[in-house]
Amino acid sequence: MKKQYVTSTALLLLLFCFCPVSAQKDVTVITPTSEAAEGLDLQAVGELFKDSKDLEEFEKKLNDSETGINNLDLDENGEVDFIRVVEDISDDTHVIILQVPLGEKEFQDVATIEGEKTNGDSYNMQVHGNEVIYGTNYYVAPAVVHIHTWPIIPWIYRPVYRPYRSAFYFGHYPHWWKVRHPVTVNVYRTHTVRFRTKTFAVTKTGRVKSFNKVNYRPHSSTLVKKKTTITKTKGKTTIKRTTVKKKK
């Protein structure tokens, strides 16, 4: 009798172990599709935006060597690129552009922060990765939409407001900007892990519906190109990330 009880328990344990495996076949993981994307964590960018009082402060935090969120080296010169911030507006829709100047006439847009005011004090926002860097439909959006309490929201939606445009460009950077070498991906992740909170989540669906009201045309540099190989098997998607950069 005791032997029969042990056998039955073993069978139940086996069933318990194998059942979850079959349930995992439809899991979807959203990842950026180029190596360049490993140099700027958009969830961390969202956190910086949320806690900034205005776009000037946001631009400074974004490029702060102590914060360590910017680790981009798009032109492979061994130095972290400066990210400037410019903005386009149409009515209550804002498109805040994170842009790397790679030369006097070479610009690469890395991501946009898109926001809209809907009804009353209701707002939508999202961080949208540039397709060349992050692949198609790569968004970071607040898990909870109540963003009106963020200090930067009333600042950009005040009655008299002019679109922000960085005073900096290629070869002309602020005095606080420190030239530094990019760190490895593993070290970079240790710098940004503290910004990975439950405030933002990665999604493939945009939520700012009025985005097309703004006459925004992304800038893509000839120095940066994307090559992606995606392999799909049953229950698993493998993405090979490669960034090909064309030298002048």
For the chain, give every domain's residue range. Answer: 28-244
- The per-residue pLDDT for 197 is 85
Q: Which of 12-16, 44-48, 61-65, 194-198 has the lowest mean pLDDT?
A: 12-16
pLDDT for 230 beyond 50: no
- Output the six-digit token pair for 176: 């606080």
pLDDT for 198 beyond 90: no
State phi, psi for 217 to the nearest 5 degrees: -120, 115
Question: Which of helix, strand or coil describes residue 238?
Answer: strand
Question: Which of helix, strand or coil describes residue 110?
Answer: strand
- Output the six-digit token pair for 232: 């799909």
pLDDT for 237 beyond 70: no
Question: Which of helix, strand or coil describes residue 14?
Answer: helix
State pLDDT tens for residues 77-115. 999 999 999 999 999 999 999 999 999 889 999 999 999
- The per-residue pLDDT for 224 is 82
Q: For residue 33, name the pLDDT band (cuts at 50, 70, 90).
A: low
Mean pLDDT of the chain: 82
- The per-residue pLDDT for 121 is 77
Q: DSSP alpha helices (H): ranges in the chain?
A: 2-23, 42-51, 55-62, 131-134, 152-156, 185-192
pLDDT for 1 beyond 60: no
pTM of the model: 0.79
- The per-residue pLDDT for 225 is 54
- Output the six-digit token pair for 16: 């318990």
State percent of the chain over pLDDT 70. Answer: 77
pLDDT for 207 beyond 70: yes
Q: Please, what sign has the CA dihedral across residues 71, 75, 77, 82?
A: negative
CA dihedral 155, 156, 161, 166 (to 10 degrees): 110
Q: For residue 167, name the pLDDT band (cuts at 50, 70, 90).
A: very high
